[in-house]
Structure 1
Amino acid sequence: MGAFDLLGIAGSSLGMHQTWLDSLANNIANVNTVVATSENAFQAQMVTAAPRPGGGVQVSGIALSDAAGMVVNDPDHPLADADGNVRAPAVDMSSQMSQLIMAQRGYQASVQITKYAQETYSSALSIGGR
């Protein structure tokens, strides 16, 4: 492992966690988005990660939830069909919030590792400069 591999690994983790956070924010923002039953529901995004060759992590894909969502009875909604139903996304808010906490903690840990590595490399350079 080279001198700057730690920064590369932590940087890849920052990127993956940022993508995960963005995806979760989008899901949470659209949790109450309803459409007519003839349309597809909002599809939640689920980030998948994989090891990066040489160390680190990368986003390997983004899967989407079922477009069928769930049919909800809301006869007062302007998009309701003749039976009073609308289509809502199948997004579990408690799961999204739990994942949000995990993604935030992972991002924070990556930031700390990056700061620690920068301080270590800076100290090593100052020792070498004497």
Structure 2
Amino acid sequence: MSMFSILDISASGLRAEKIRLNLIAENLANIETTRTSLGGPYRRKIASFSEILDRRKSSQYRRGSDSSGGGVQVASIIRDQSPPIMVYDPQHPDAGADGFVAKPNISVSDEIVDMITASRAYEANVTVMNTTKNLALKSLNIGKE
């Protein structure tokens, strides 16, 4: 595995976690949105990840440390299909005839946990990139001292 492929894999992880963090921020920003252009309350968005496979090499030729993948990508963004939370608020403009308002089924604590997890994954990828960079710099200095 080359240094550049390590950096590419970490960069793909950074991109994926950035998208994940943006979706979490969007979910938290829309926690009170009761009406969207699609109709009904806002639906929580979740990133679905998939592995990027290195298709340039046939599996019969890949062995040992040369059998690397290509990182991760966001395969799709899924809208949570769980039912909305029904809150009694007859004064709300989106209340039905029964006085209930459909609110997004978003848990602040779940979103915060996801945000911390995504932040830690992002930090781990930054650490890998910095370590790879330092290793490359030290490799260039071999024999100079």
Q: TM-score, normalised by structure 2?
A: 0.78
How many residues end up aligned between the 2 structures? 128
Corresponding residue number in structure 1 for 2:125:
110
RMSD of aligned alpha carbons: 2.1
Note if contact 1:72-1:85 (Cα within 8 Å) is conserved in structure 2.
Answer: yes
Note if contact 1:41-1:67 (Cα within 8 Å) is conserved in structure 2.
Answer: no
Q: How does 1:57-72 map to 2 (within 5 A)?
A: 57-66=72-81, 69-72=84-87
* 1:94 has 2:120 as partner: no
Residue identity in the other structure for 1:81:
G
Q: How does 1:67-78 map to 2 (within 5 A)?
A: 69-78=84-93
* TM-aligned CA deviation for residue 79 of structure 1: 2.9
Note the residue ranges of structure 1 that are not aligned, 5 or more in a row: none
**Other structure's SS at 2:46 match:** strand
Q: TM-score, normalised by structure 1?
A: 0.86
Moved beyond 6 Å, runs of 4+: none
Taking only the aligned residue pairs, the percentage that are identical comes to 30
Corresponding residue number in structure 1 for 2:2:
2
Note the residue ranges of structure 2 that are not aligned, 5 or more in a row: 55-68
Residue identity in the other structure for 2:122:
Y
For 1:24 and 1:35, the matched residues in 2 are separated by 19
Residue identity in the other structure for 2:94:
L
Note if contact 1:17-1:104 (Cα within 8 Å) is conserved in structure 2.
Answer: yes
* TM-aligned CA deviation for residue 127 of structure 1: 3.0
* TM-aligned CA deviation for residue 3 of structure 1: 2.9
* TM-aligned CA deviation for residue 28 of structure 1: 0.9
Corresponding residue number in structure 2 for 1:44:
44
Q: After superposing the two structures, state which structure 1 stretch, 58-67 or 95-104, moved more.
A: 58-67
* TM-aligned CA deviation for residue 44 of structure 1: 1.0
* TM-aligned CA deviation for residue 68 of structure 1: 5.2
**Other structure's SS at 1:127 match:** coil
Residue identity in the other structure for 2:53:
P
**Other structure's SS at 2:81 match:** coil
**Other structure's SS at 2:78 match:** strand
